[in-house]
Chain A
Amino acid sequence: MMGKGRVSVGERKLVYEEVSEGDEGPARSHTLTRTDLVRYAGASGDFNPMHHDEVKAKAAGQPSVFGHGMFSMGLLGTAITDFVGVGNLTRYKVRFARQTWPDEELTTKVVVSGKRVEDGRHLVDLDVRLVNQDGEEKVVGEATAEVPSRS
């Protein structure tokens, strides 16, 4: 059973009763390349030259091109759906704390911050973040997934 308007099934990864606060999803690490940014520009339609045109980025006072915020959110989203299963998110929100730069190693951190039953829906809340190799936070946010229950 699911709430009104929800497709009742997604990829089964977590079972509500087996999830505890503090549980962590598998971390993903990715070293950002300029090719990633070009691919993301095409895939998203965001052709802001700050993300692919080194000449224009430098002219604008930036040390180089920098990553799309939405690339970071997308990469972190990959780690989240790996953990909770595709099709189960009910909410995903982030703040873009810092720009990302080519050659940075970006690592995801997905931690269960709580769980609750609301209108018969079994919900798992997550703290999510993307950090670089020095622990600098790039993206900080939260997500909620509806997961199956044994009951």
Chain B
Amino acid sequence: MSADASVDKELLESIIGQPTGRSTVVVERGPVSFFADAVVDPNPIYKDPAAAQAAGLPAIPAPPTFPIAMEAWGKFAELQPEDAPSGSPLLKILGPLMAKGGLILHGEEEFIYHRPVLVGDQLVGDGKVVDAYRKESKGKTMTFVVTETTWVDAKTGDPVVTARFNVIHRA
């Protein structure tokens, strides 16, 4: 292992366990409907409250991969706690790598559902880095960072969905 690589390893390990931030989001009908279109899902359950009720759901559900979009669409500034953990351990690793080129790729994604995400939900997500490592593959250097975000119901504190995100820098 070169000196550079061992320094990198230390830097990578230094971000494991660091928070990636806390978000409060609102799940709204328009974004859910548009997201269903975007994943080519014509099921009326994502558009029509009567269809959702007929299926036994208390409100319009979100498609299973919608949690990836929740912060883009429902993270309103006035809902964010002032004391939320902040910082971007991902950027600390990926920023300098991207500055030298290469490509960011999504390696893996996992959702664990405790109940369906529903229109009208207000959810609080807490994220942290759970792994960071580097591999050589086919002459390329692959840097992996894995984060886990746990979303809970803001009213009850009950878990709703956990998302694990594995991002790769390839150069």
Residues on A facing B (Cβ under 8 Å): 5-7, 9-12, 28, 30, 36, 39-40, 42-46, 48, 50, 60, 62, 68-71, 73-75, 77-78, 80-82, 85-87, 89-96, 99
Contacts and interface: CB of A to CB of B under 8 A. Distances in A.
* Interface range, B side: 35 or more
B110 to A, nearest CB: 4
19 contacts: A7-B116, A9-B56, A10-B116, A43-B35, A43-B39, A45-B69, A46-B68, A48-B104, A73-B65, A74-B65, A81-B41, A86-B63, A86-B116, A87-B61, A89-B64, A90-B113, A92-B64, A93-B109, A96-B106
Contacts of B116: 7, 10, 86-87
Nearest to A91: B112
A80 B108 CA distance: 18
Contact of B111 (A5, A30, A92): A92
B109 A73 contact: yes
B17 interface: no
Classify the interface of chain B: helix, strand, loop or mixed: mixed
Given A42-B34, A42-B38, A93-B110, A82 B43 contact: yes
